[in-house]
Amino acid sequence: MAVIGIFAENFNDEVTQYQMGRYVSSNEAVWRIFSFHINERHPSVVHLAVHLENGQRVYFTPQNAVQRAAQPPSTTLTSFFETCQNDDFAQTLLYSEMPKYYTWNKSSRKFIRRKQGKPIQEYPDVYSTDVNLFSTSQQ
HEC assignment per residue over the chain: CCCCCCCCCCCCCHHHHHHHHCCCCHHHHHHHHCCCCCCCCCCCEEECCCCCCCCCCCCCCCCCHHHHHHCCCCCHHHHHHHHHHHCCCHHHCCHHHHHHHEEEECCCCEEEECCCCCCEEECCCCCCCCHHHHHHHCC
pLDDT of residue 83: 92
pLDDT of residue 137: 57
Q: Residue 63 sits in which domain range?
A: 45-137
Task: Indicate whether 40 belongs to any domain.
Answer: no
Determine if the peptide bond prior to 43 is cis (ω within 30°): yes
Q: Is the pLDDT of residue 128 over 90?
A: no
Closest to 75 measured CA to CA, from 43, 53, 42: 53
Task: Indicate whether 27 belongs to any domain.
Answer: no
Task: Indicate whether 129 belongs to any domain.
Answer: yes
Task: Indicate whether 65 belongs to any domain.
Answer: yes
Task: Indicate whether 111 belongs to any domain.
Answer: yes
pLDDT of residue 76: 87
Task: Indicate whether 132 belongs to any domain.
Answer: yes
Task: Indicate whether 6 belongs to any domain.
Answer: no
pTM, two decimal places: 0.52
Task: Indicate whether 112 belongs to any domain.
Answer: yes
How many independent structural domains does the chain possess? 1
Mean pLDDT of the chain: 78
pLDDT of residue 71: 80
Q: Which residues contact 67 (CB under 8 A, 6 or more apart)?
A: none
d(CA 48, CA 45): 10
